[in-house]
Amino acid sequence: MALTTRVRLVLDKLFTKHLFTTNVVTCGGLLGIGDACVQGINIVAHKGKDRQVSYDFKRTGRMVVIGLALGPFNHFWYALLDKVVKGAGTKVVLKKIALDQAFAGPFFCTLFLTGTSLLEGQGIEGAKSEWKEKFLPIYMVDWCFWPMAQYVNFKFLPTQYRVAYVSSATLIWNSFLSYMKHENVPADEEHVH
């Protein structure tokens, strides 16, 4: 059996028999990869400058944990959305996008900002402060990115592939989230050597 056939069979099994686990692990992994990309770019940008920035494995770990926390919601949200709003016509797709932006967007942004702040040890007040500072800018960019990405998702993909598609688009989005989360970090809080 050819390698591509074996890979396809494994993926088919993951997206049918183990869909929940596949969706959760994919969300966690891609949030970690998005953070790794941002850190890699940051390290390269500081190479040869006065201060060197090193890779922060704990930060990536926190991103993975947040992704794993978001995964179950992602899994159930898209299944529910497809049950409540059936079809793939343009009007139906626009309704799904509106619901996704109205409910999932704010939920994900809030969980991301407060969850990472709490995992960093900032406490409830630190999480509130960061949410007040960064929620609106992130949510505004969310409106620029996700409606177009979700149009493709809701128009062309079957339900079982929605989370995988969103997770793939999320690689780009998560890089942005990681950048927004960690911008303006004082030098003594970065991994500098």
The model carries a pTM of: 0.80
Tell me the mean pLDDT in the region 107-118: 93
Helices (H), 120-161: 123-156
Instruction: Tell me the CA distances in angstroms from 118 to 93, 121, 128, 139, one per residue in order.
Output: 35, 5, 10, 20
pLDDT digits (tens, 9 = 90+) for 115-163: 999 999 999 999 999 999 999 999 999 999 999 999 999 999 988 888 7
Angle at 175 between CA 25 and CA 126, to 5 degrees: 90
The domain locations on the chain are: 30-182
pLDDT digits (tens, 9 = 90+) for 16-66: 888 999 999 988 998 899 889 889 988 888 887 777 789 999 999 999 999
Instruction: State the burial class of residue 156 (Cβ atoms within 10 Å of its Cβ: 0-12, 13-18, 19+).
Output: exposed
Work out the end-to-end distance of the chain between its first and last CA atoms, rounded to an integer number of angstroms: 50
8 Å CB contact between 105 and 68: no
C-alpha 140: how far from chain center? 16
